[in-house]
Structure 1
Amino acid sequence: MQANPTLEQNTIAVLPFVNMSASEENEYFSDGITEEIINALAKLKDLKVTSRTSAFYFKGKNIPISQIGNQLNVFYILEGSIRRSGNMIRITAQLIEAKEDYHFWSETWDREWENIFDIQDEISLNIADKLREQLGHFEIQDHLVSTQTKNLDAYDLSLKGRYYFNKWNPTDASKAIDLYTKALALDEQHTESMIGLADCYSFMAIAGFSPLKATWAKAIDLIHHAAQLNDKIPGVHYQLAHLYFFTQCNFGKSLFSLNQALELNPNYVEAHQFMSFFYLISGNHSASLNHLKIALTLNPLSQETLFFMAYHHYMLEDYEKSIEILDRCIQENPINLPAHMIKWQCLIAQGRCGEVLTKIDAYDKNLIVEGDVLGLKGLANAIDNNLAETKTFIDQLIEYSEKEDGYRASSYLVMIYANIGEADQAFHWLDISINNQYSLILFHFSDPLLRPLRNDIRYKDYHKKLYTTSSFKRKKAEKKPIVSKSLLASYSKKLLTHMTANKPYLDPGLSLRSLAQQINIHPNQLSYLLNESMEKNFNEFVNQYRLQAFKAAALDPQNQHLNLMALAYDSGFNSKTVFNTYFKRHTGMTPKQYIQQMS
């Protein structure tokens, strides 16, 4: 599966803002502000925003913008820089049409640190406005960034925490835990720090780097507290989805929380990946593929997305394709345990069991949990019809199931018993997994290696029980048009009268937002009006007036002493490139050719 080769215009990547501060230690701040802008733009439902992972792939690399745009499959790129000096911040940003490397908008902000959230909101709204003027109608909230905390030291610590956690290893995750803890000591209600800390704890628990129950208990308290304080943060619902899945084995509630996260942030790539996985294990392959395609669009360079693609092929029993993709993951990261695990399961499914046993023995024992080793070896022997060896591993797994992380044993026992024809024992361990809310059974119950159990009459009932969603479906409210039909004609007349009488297009700084203010309607309503009544985006609509003004001025004998660009600027155009491009597209000739023909 490849990223969509058709380049959509409503796509943008925000490259890491360059740290121009005197201290390299401010790198975390530049990265943090970049990520905040990504998150703000990601709230716009009609805009596809490349995820942080793929955008940050280009950090520090001297690669042409056109090449970056091609690799990320985006039409627009935002780049910029940040300089922090004492209490002052200077942020520059420029929007670029990637294919032509054409900079069509730039701005600089000099602000005080105390206004950091207002700066982020202003920048994000400016960018969204400029894109809408190019693309056509989509709705923009009045604010894209809200004030997280009044304690800016707490916010600063949270940015540092996120910087370290994004390195995805236990050492840096421990540093992040310390920083988030300090942030919460300064502001105990800083929701983003709670979610960041909960994310660290759940990572450490799931990966086996800290005691399971105690670590999850800390994460659970933080997630519920964050949800009570602010349930409008997508990360709150994403963490709730993790909580319901990994601690309650509750598929329906977890899926519901993922849907809420995506409603708040349609570009939440991790939620799309998780959603793809959810639909895959429940048997809805087409819905799974839809979310996977979105994830690939938003995060084309991510090893995690690549892994989910490999897992998709594994679940469809396309083992060769899965192995091919997994090998790419392993080549990038030789100790990628999830990739090795699924590859071993592919090999077991192909009957290459001896090969798997050898590979498991050669793998670093410090990086794989004992329960997985026993389970995979037992399963390989069961598939290979080595009954005596299989029984030995069954005994070891039953003994292991009594340990704190023994939950891993239960679902392996389900698969092993199923493959040696002992269905009753398989269902016995299935009941144990469900009654104890062991989440791994949600992975393994739909696994291709459990195929022998699917013919059992009991299988469908258990499938329905594990993957039920009926209690958690939410009806979507019917969306009303932003401008009623009765008002559309009135607003249209008001706009056209204003354009003719007051000639606002002569102002080269005219924006959709400022034009909306001039005729006293909301910018979203003006955007909708232009799209519905004029069938044009803002730039097309305004430039048609500028073009007519230029033609009239160019043919006026009194203006013969002025060159063509002077007339273009007087007509409201603010760029030679925009003027020439627009003129030729609408007349089929250059301005000079037009004047000669008309003369």
Structure 2
Amino acid sequence: WKIASYFSFVVIVALIVLNIIPRTNNKKDILDKSIAVLPFTYLSDELDKQYLADGTMDEILLNLSKVEDLRVMSKTSVEQYRNTDKTITEICGELDVAYLLEGSFLKNGNQVRLIVQLIQPGMEGHAWSKKYDRNWQDIFSVQSEIAQLVANELQAVITPEEKKRIDEIPTEDLNAYEYYLLGKNRLNYHEKDADLWRAIDYFQQAINIDPAFALAYSALANAYYRLTISALLSPGEAYPKVSEYSQKALELNEELAYTHCLLGIVKLSYEYDYSGAEKEYMRALEIDPKSDEAHTYYARLHFLFRRTDEAIVHIDRALELDPHFFWAKLLKSELHFSADSINEAIRLLEELRNSYPYIPATYWVSAVFYTHLGRYEEALSMLDTQLALMGDDNISDEIGLQGFIYGRLDQKDEALKQQARLDELSLKGYYVSPRTRVWIYLGLDNLDEAFAVLEKAYIDHSIDPVSFILYFYPIESLQSDPRFKDYLQKIGLNN
């Protein structure tokens, strides 16, 4: 009877495999539900209206990202293809997606025209192309409709909750919406420091028109965060505003994942409230499990507490969601360096310099690594390249690291000159953290002065704990001083 039962089982399984389970060569089952939304073009020579096309593209991309069953490339990954000469096949291959969405936009008075094409490489023509001639008042419903049409074409399942989120209207006032789009444009494509301040002005005008506009508060919080990382405001000036506007945004709409990330940044970098930061990052991922940014921020927190395995899991997930996410790749190199996987860290950085030769941060991290390895000439070379890319931007950390290297090379006069360079930057209106002078004093083995300025940095809230552990912890003279343990306890890292 055992043989008969076994034979019956095999027959049943065979029938299931052959007749009930769909064949693996069925196109519907092997369909890759991945897409990139390319930058939209504006259908006129009015360059000052491009922000409308960009805003429409952003909203459609955001709506697609709300569908769990889709893999959607981030805005940062697709921006490189603005005005590109590359073919559809080349772009899809580089982004590893099955579909592209292209679009063009025009607004004339209260009338808008939106043309979108869904494209699949290897097919003749488009998967589909649609033209919308609508009133400006209908822009939100059009954005929602396009996202759902695309998802349906890719045979993605949209849950009722996802549909509800896609259909949400950000504001009832289109004047507020236009100011919001203007602010986003300045924030995303700023070339001068003044652009960040102008973005803040636009977001504030949007809020003045519609005080219930949650996304405008969130964007305003993000703008103040950009001001502090650009050293245009001190942490004490910027972070309380980031916190205030983030909390206001979440009061109006609690389901804003990136806004939770912003609050997490404040709690980690300014308040040293690590459990609070973790709650915010976890909530962000609960709202949007596909947020590559939330995974990366959470990985930084895991790293801080030496939870390296968990950090790598989140970094790998971020890169699975977006293989071209630069900041996740950079953090991965830092994690490997901290875990003494030196060769892998250096290899990853070499890849980044080859792939993103125009991003200064790659050279900064390379310089720090080479410094800790005692390869000072290579570190100085990396800093030279970085400084050439940054131009007139705030370069206080880079100057500080140069001072450290000169000190270690017994070039004391050259090291002390960097103090004067920091003073000059401060006179130009940049915020120069006391942290930057720590490098110079450590290079000169002046530990008393190093701890004195570390104390000022603590008072200033300008010590980011993750960066502190990455960049300063490996310095032997600092680590072996009894005051260092006390300092770690001050910023909540006594364990």
Determine the C-alpha separation between the residues in 1 that align with 2:110 and 2:135.
Answer: 6
Aligned residue in 1 for 2:405: 380
CA deviations 1:403-461 (Å, max 9, x no partner) are 97444258658x939x9697x99889878766764432332224485264778999999
**Aligned counterpart for 2:393 among listed residues 367, 372, 375:** 367
Determine the C-alpha separation between the residues in 2 that align with 1:393 and 1:40.
Answer: 52
1:141 aligns with 2:162: yes
How far off is 1:208 after superposition? Answer: 0.8
What does residue range 281-296 of structure 1 map to in structure 2 within 5 Å? Answer: 281-296=304-319
Aligned residue in 1 for 2:176: 154
Between 1:220-229 and 1:100-109, the stretch displaced more is: 100-109
**Aligned counterpart for 1:117 among listed residues 119, 132, 140:** 140
What does residue range 18-167 of structure 1 map to in structure 2 within 5 Å? Answer: 18-20=41-43, 23-98=46-121, 100=123, 103-131=126-154, 134-135=155-156, 141-143=162-164, 144-167=166-189
Aligned residue in 2 for 1:235: 258
CA contact (8 A) 1:411 1:441 kept: no
1:255 aligns with 2:278: yes
1:320 aligns with 2:346: yes
CA contact (8 A) 2:333 2:346 kept: no
Q: Secondary structure at the match of 1:450?
A: coil
Aligned residue in 1 for 2:34: 11
Q: Secondary structure at the match of 1:111?
A: strand
What does residue range 115-514 of structure 1 map to in structure 2 within 5 Å? Answer: 115-131=138-154, 134-135=155-156, 141-143=162-164, 144-169=166-191, 170-301=193-324, 303-315=326-338, 316-318=341-343, 319-328=345-354, 331-333=357-359, 336=360, 338-354=361-377, 356=379, 363=387, 366-370=392-396, 373-374=399-400, 376-377=401-402, 379-380=404-405, 386=410, 405-409=432-436, 412=439, 416=442, 437-447=461-471, 450=474, 452=476
Q: Secondary structure at the match of 2:150?
A: helix
CA deviations 1:211-242 (Å, max 9, x no partner) are 54334444333222222222222232122122
Determine the C-alpha separation between the residues in 1 that align with 2:159 and 2:125.
Answer: 23
How far off is 1:34 after superposition? Answer: 0.8
CA contact (8 A) 1:408 1:440 kept: no
Q: Structure 1 residues 171 and 64, CA, compared in 2 at 3 Å: closer, same or farther? A: same
CA contact (8 A) 2:53 2:105 kept: yes
CA contact (8 A) 1:128 1:140 kept: no
Q: Structure 1 residues 442 and 303, CA, compared in 2 at 3 Å: closer, same or farther? A: closer
| Superposition TM-score, scaled by structure 2 size | 0.75
Give the letter for the 2:162 counterpart. Answer: Q
Q: Secondary structure at the match of 1:25?
A: helix
CA contact (8 A) 1:10 1:46 kept: yes
How far off is 1:75 after superposition? Answer: 1.9
Q: Secondary structure at the match of 2:35?
A: strand
Q: Structure 1 residues 282 and 433, CA, compared in 2 at 3 Å: closer, same or farther? A: farther
CA contact (8 A) 1:234 1:265 kept: yes
Q: Structure 1 residues 271 and 102, CA, compared in 2 at 3 Å: closer, same or farther? A: farther
Determine the C-alpha separation between the residues in 2 that align with 1:395 and 1:85.
Answer: 55
What does residue range 527-538 of structure 1 map to in structure 2 within 5 Å? Answer: none
Q: Structure 1 residues 68 and 409, CA, compared in 2 at 3 Å: closer, same or farther? A: closer
CA deviations 1:506-525 (Å, max 9, x no partner) are xxxxxxxxxxxxxxxxxxxx
How far off is 1:11 after superposition? Answer: 1.6
CA deviations 1:313-332 (Å, max 9, x no partner) are 44343353244135336732
How far off is 1:201 after superposition? Answer: 1.8
Determine the C-alpha separation between the residues in 2 that align with 1:290 and 1:101.
Answer: 40
Q: Secondary structure at the match of 1:110?
A: strand
What does residue range 578-597 of structure 1 map to in structure 2 within 5 Å? Answer: none
Give the letter for the 2:294 counterpart. Answer: A
Q: Which is higher, the Rg of structure 1 or of structure 2?
A: 1
| Superposition TM-score, scaled by structure 1 size | 0.64
Q: Secondary structure at the match of 1:150?
A: coil
Determine the C-alpha separation between the residues in 1 that align with 2:420 and 2:113.
Answer: 62
CA contact (8 A) 1:33 1:120 kept: yes
Output the aligned Cα RMSD: 4.2
Unaligned runs of 5+ in 2: 1-29
CA contact (8 A) 2:296 2:314 kept: yes
Determine the C-alpha separation between the residues in 2 that align with 1:466 and 1:358.
Answer: 33
Determine the C-alpha separation between the residues in 2 that align with 1:17 and 1:359.
Answer: 36
CA contact (8 A) 1:50 1:297 kept: no
Q: Secondary structure at the match of 1:141?
A: helix
Give the letter for the 1:127 counterpart. Answer: V
Give the letter for the 2:257 counterpart. Answer: P
Q: Structure 1 residues 261 and 410, CA, compared in 2 at 3 Å: closer, same or farther? A: farther
Determine the C-alpha separation between the residues in 2 that align with 1:120 and 1:180.
Answer: 21
How far off is 1:199 after superposition? Answer: 1.5
Determine the C-alpha separation between the residues in 1 that align with 2:219 and 2:393.
Answer: 25
Q: Secondary structure at the match of 1:83?
A: strand
Q: Structure 1 residues 377 and 179, CA, compared in 2 at 3 Å: closer, same or farther? A: same
Q: Secondary structure at the match of 2:474?
A: helix
How far off is 1:203 after superposition? Answer: 0.8
Q: Secondary structure at the match of 1:267?
A: coil
Determine the C-alpha separation between the residues in 2 that align with 1:449 and 1:101.
Answer: 57
Give the letter for the 1:119 counterpart. Answer: V
Q: Secondary structure at the match of 2:357?
A: helix
Give the letter for the 1:380 counterpart. Answer: I
Identity of aligned residues (%): 24
Query: How many pairs does the alignment contain?
Result: 453
Give the letter for the 1:340 counterpart. Answer: Y
